[in-house]
Structure 1
Amino acid sequence: MLEVEDKTPLPTPDGPETETPAFRDEEGELNPEFLAAAADAIEASEVERLQKLVEDFHESELGDLLEALEPDQRPRLIELLGASFDFAALTEVDEAVREEILEELETATVAEGVRDLDSDDAITILESLPEEEKAEVLDQLPAIERVALQRSLDYPEDSAGRRMQTEFIAVPPFWTVGQTIDFMRETEDLPETFYEIFVIDPGAHLLGSVPLDRLLRSKRPVTIQDIMNAEPDRVEATEQQDEVARLFERYNLVSAAVVDNAGRLVGVILVDDIVDVLEEEADADIKQLGGVKSDEELSDTVFYTQRSRFPWLFVNMCTALIAANVINLFEESLEKMVALAILMPIVASMGGNAGTQTMTVSVRALATRELGRTNAWRIIRREAGVGLLNGLIFACIMGSIAGVWFQSIELGFVIGLALIGVLFFAALGGIFVPLTLNRFGVDPAVSSGPFVTSITDIVGFFTFLGIATAWFHL
């Protein structure tokens, strides 16, 4: 990754020069001073200063900056940078952030930005647009590019056809090595990155491939047919991306041809595309393990996040009710306030699962460097809001059930208040524990679970029994 470490003097609105703060601090996180400088330049509409700040940025760094800015500053940055803004940066941000940005941009601006992208990056952006706006953007593109992008969009989501690049080099088998090399030297619009050339017949059917190292080691008069691999690595355009990723992993591939159901060459998948797939699949697995939807992002709102997590917590509440019913079988063996013992597993279980949900998202975000000092407090506030909102909802549900079950409105109030406190503190524990462990150099993915479970159990039992004791004067 490129680092912006030099401190070049920049003009300020008042006239004197100041030094450009480094983009990242010593720990590799986004520097708050740089973020403040960029925000100031945006607010003051200082185009030259903003261009100087981001002139050496890699697309991933520009994406990090976009995510760190306030929502209203993101489209403004793009407008100020104009043609110098690399639209590939939009593929590096959360989907929710990308959609918000695209909503604010003019269709002509999006079309101009998409035109300069590799087809796979262009598809990522087009997928985030409403159908009507997507059609408008495509209409403003040259016919050849429009047809290629539309063909990719017609393939199923999460398929090789959606992931492929439609830019590739294909030659006939009767060409010589010299002809092929001269063709690549003279052609201006070659793919930005490629590792092999493909061999096709007049109908575009894939016949073979030639790795670049073999091509460069061969004599100029040798024909391509003589040095090509007659069984090239290929995948169907409709094949699922996770299956393609396994193929790359199994055979250590760096690229593979993508063919349609008739065997015609339609694109190529590179290893960098597969890295993204592997990350997405791992991200989804980890989130789902904790009962979180795979598409949840740190940029999502409190209400969207609450709705996405509610079903899993509701299922957990139902299973906890079953456990409580089993304890109820031993009612005669219990002495004081039997209902408390019966309801205790519900409080502990819901608190534990709420903490696990928050912990799962936090640990993953720390591992991918999406969560750091610059956005920690914002995410903490979001998680606290989600915990409080879920607590209020489940307080009403469980309070009503307990009141009817034990014929005691007071007991319904007690467990309702307990659930509000438990889910709120479980959410805080789920993010504070990983952040604290990470701060002290301990791997949060390994150690967060036991700490979060212990905290939620202790807080859950103390809150529930403490409220009950004070309420009923036991």
Structure 2
Amino acid sequence: MSRETDDLELKERLETEEDLEDLALGEDYSLNPAYVPMVVDALDRGDAERLRELLGALHPADVADLMGFLSAGDREELVPHLDPEILGEVLSELDTEIREEILEHVPSAILAKALGEMESDDAADVVDDLEADKRAQVLAAMPEVERTAIETTLAYEDETAGRLMQREVVAAPQFWTVGQTIDHLRRESEELPELFFDVYVVDPAYKPVGACPVSHLLRSQRDMPLAQIMEQVTEIPVDMDQEEVAYIFDKYRLISAPVIEPGGRLVGQITVDDIVGVIQEETEEDILALAGVSDAGRDAGFLGIVQSRLPWLLINLVTEVLAVIVIGPFQPMIAKIVVLVMLLPIVSSLGGNAGTQALTVAVRAIASKELNAANAARIILRELAVGLLNGAAVGLVLGAALFVWMHDWKLSLVVLLAIIANLFVAAIGGILAPIALDHFGRDPAVSSSVVVTFMTDFFGFLALLGIAALILL
């Protein structure tokens, strides 16, 4: 059965079945291909009722995913069909480029209402994407309390705990009992955060002295003082980098954590759902940085992509030219032993792959704080040993194959020694380049690959030709 036939049948089912949610999403929770054209068709016909049915079957995250498959014009037409509450959740899930485009077409009053339905951290992210004039209009249309919360959040540096946190927290004095706390939560239910896991116990200066997980609270007797059931908390400074926050959450298996200002006063909380996004964002950045590229979203223009990738290609071109220069003095020997031309790319490529392996391990270890001054020497020696052993193993295989083909044991020995030397250099570059860059405050994921590629190409050519000159001539 063809893909077109499958899509047609699914479209017919979507038109006739009531359970749109099950039919709109595949087993992997991605949008079915036939669903997007149905939304576009409803937009073209101006069928508001059908659009409400189609969109109402989706989670806001799925609506955000849908936006990525639509054209800019279709997105502009779709936004007015979203209720402010749903619009706010969709905006918080959108890619930055698409969100900025959509925000241009949302009236300030509607956007202010949508922001009022969001947590303060998500609302601040959206407001941060607005142009200055529209930002002022939107904030002016918001209630004072919500406006102040967003402005306070935006005052913190980007990618810090202050920008990541939500200001809504649940706190109780340490002399309260479990019963008093539960009664307070019920009375103030409208003011509580949408999602929270802990009740933070604070002293008279509003400094956190402990936390009571909601699960412990519900299992405890009403007359039990909070001070007797509270647990120790891991406090997050408001100016801590979000990558450090993610590391702390992962290390201590945290679900939430209080955020404190320099004086120790509680100013907000970070929950695990925020950290999941940070981990994904930082991982994507590191993966892209290793390749020397930036994120190219679904709506990215080709000129922007070229601008982000071309500089690294030009840098790589310069390093490759420097590596090739080493071949010049050996041209007379290459003319006599033509087989060396065939072996040059093999030796350099093997070194490049080995260097990438060591580099990837080193960057991950630095990012996860598994590599520091305490164990750096052991890790470096381990990678060097791996480089020597791998070089010997690969060199023996290629040397043996070359001997069977050429019946020249000296040429096989040249290849064996050259591969051992280049894989050893690859291990040196792969482990030391990111460590050195990190030591000098540079991101090891960004430029380490260029350094390692240059080293393995340069020393690969030099090792093969230099050893060949010593043994074969």
CA offsets per residue over residues 266-307 of structure 1, 9 Å max, x none? 1111111111111111101110111112x5433311111110
Q: What's the secondary structure of 1:225's corresponding residue?
A: helix
Corresponding letter in the other structure for 1:119: S
Corresponding letter in the other structure for 2:203: D
1:215–1:317 distance in 2 versus 1, CA, 3 Å: same
Question: What corresponds to 1:278 in structure 2?
Answer: 279
Which has the higher mean CA deviation after the structures are superposed, 50-59 or 125-134?
A: 125-134
Pairwise CA distance, 1:8: 11
Q: Whose radius of gyration is greater, 1 or 2?
A: 2
Distance, in Å, in 1 between the alignment partners of 2:322 and 2:307 is: 24
Question: What corresponds to 1:252 in structure 2?
Answer: 253
TM-score (norm 1): 0.65
Among the aligned pairs, what percent are the same residue? 38
Question: What corresponds to 1:225 in structure 2?
Answer: 227
Contact 1:241-1:277 at 8 Å conserved across structures: yes
Question: What corresponds to 2:77 in structure 1?
Answer: 76
CA offsets per residue over residues 150-171 of structure 1, 9 Å max, x none? 1111111110111111111112
Pairwise CA distance, 1:325: 1.7
Does the alignment pair 1:236 with 2:226? Answer: no
Contact 1:45-1:80 at 8 Å conserved across structures: no
Does the alignment pair 1:194 with 2:196? Answer: yes
Q: What's the secondary structure of 1:193's corresponding residue?
A: coil
Corresponding letter in the other structure for 2:107: E
Between structures 1 and 2, the one with greater helix share: 2
Corresponding letter in the other structure for 1:195: F
Q: What's the secondary structure of 1:208's corresponding residue?
A: strand
Distance, in Å, in 2 between the alignment partners of 1:233 and 1:132 is: 40
Pairwise CA distance, 1:180: 1.1
Does the alignment pair 1:320 with 2:345? Answer: no
Pairwise CA distance, 1:146: 1.2
CA offsets per residue over residues 219-239 of structure 1, 9 Å max, x none? 21223233323x322100100
Q: What's the secondary structure of 1:72's corresponding residue?
A: helix
Given candidates 204, 208, 211, the residue that maps to 1:206 is 208
Corresponding letter in the other structure for 1:270: T
Which has the higher mean CA deviation after the structures are superposed, 258-267 or 200-209?
A: 200-209
1:8–1:199 distance in 2 versus 1, CA, 3 Å: farther
Which has the higher mean CA deviation after the structures are superposed, 236-245 or 296-305?
A: 296-305
Corresponding letter in the other structure for 2:320: A
Contact 2:14-2:23 at 8 Å conserved across structures: no
CA offsets per residue over residues 308-358 of structure 1, 9 Å max, x none? 11111010111111122222223445669x9xx8xx98xx99xx99xx9xx
Q: What's the secondary structure of 2:79's corresponding residue?
A: helix
Distance, in Å, in 2 between the alignment partners of 1:28 and 1:217 is: 36
Distance, in Å, in 1 between the alignment partners of 2:119 and 2:61 is: 15
Distance, in Å, in 1 between the alignment partners of 2:205 and 2:146 is: 20
How many residue pairs align between the two structures? 335
Structure 2 unpaired stretches of 5+? 1-9, 357-473
CA offsets per residue over residues 9-55 of structure 1, 9 Å max, x none? 988xxxxx787592223565422211011111122222211111121
Contact 1:7-1:22 at 8 Å conserved across structures: no
Corresponding letter in the other structure for 1:238: D
Q: What's the secondary structure of 2:46's corresponding residue?
A: coil
CA offsets per residue over residues 216-268 of structure 1, 9 Å max, x none? 12221223233323x32210010011111111111111000001111111111
Question: What corresponds to 1:378 in structure 2?
Answer: none
Pairwise CA distance, 1:60: 1.3
Question: What corresponds to 1:414 in structure 2?
Answer: none
Q: What's the secondary structure of 2:277's corresponding residue?
A: helix
Which has the higher mean CA deviation after the structures are superposed, 194-203 or 24-33?
A: 24-33
* Aligned pairs for 1:44-443 within 5 A: 44-83=45-84, 85-187=86-188, 188-229=190-231, 231-293=232-294, 295-333=295-333
Which has the higher mean CA deviation after the structures are superposed, 75-84 or 278-287?
A: 75-84
Contact 2:11-2:38 at 8 Å conserved across structures: no
1:202–1:137 distance in 2 versus 1, CA, 3 Å: farther
Pairwise CA distance, 1:90: 1.9
Distance, in Å, in 1 between the alignment partners of 2:40 and 2:205 is: 53
1:189–1:43 distance in 2 versus 1, CA, 3 Å: farther
Contact 1:259-1:265 at 8 Å conserved across structures: yes
Contact 1:160-1:240 at 8 Å conserved across structures: yes
Distance, in Å, in 2 between the alignment partners of 1:102 and 1:169 is: 32
Pairwise CA distance, 1:101: 1.1
Question: What corresponds to 1:399 in structure 2?
Answer: none
Distance, in Å, in 2 between the alignment partners of 1:221 and 1:85 is: 41
Contact 1:234-1:258 at 8 Å conserved across structures: yes
Q: What's the secondary structure of 1:85's corresponding residue?
A: helix
Distance, in Å, in 1 between the alignment partners of 2:118 and 2:85 is: 13
Question: What corresponds to 1:41 in structure 2?
Answer: 42
Pairwise CA distance, 1:209: 1.5
Contact 2:173-2:201 at 8 Å conserved across structures: yes
Distance, in Å, in 2 between the alignment partners of 1:215 and 1:134 is: 41
Question: What corresponds to 1:25 in structure 2?
Answer: 26
CA offsets per residue over residues 62-81 of structure 1, 9 Å max, x none? 11111111111113211123
Corresponding letter in the other structure for 1:264: R
Which has the higher mean CA deviation after the structures are superposed, 174-183 or 257-266?
A: 174-183
Q: What's the secondary structure of 1:146's corresponding residue?
A: helix
Contact 1:196-1:210 at 8 Å conserved across structures: yes
Structure 1 unpaired stretches of 5+? 1-5, 12-16, 357-474
Distance, in Å, in 2 between the alignment partners of 1:213 and 1:18 is: 40
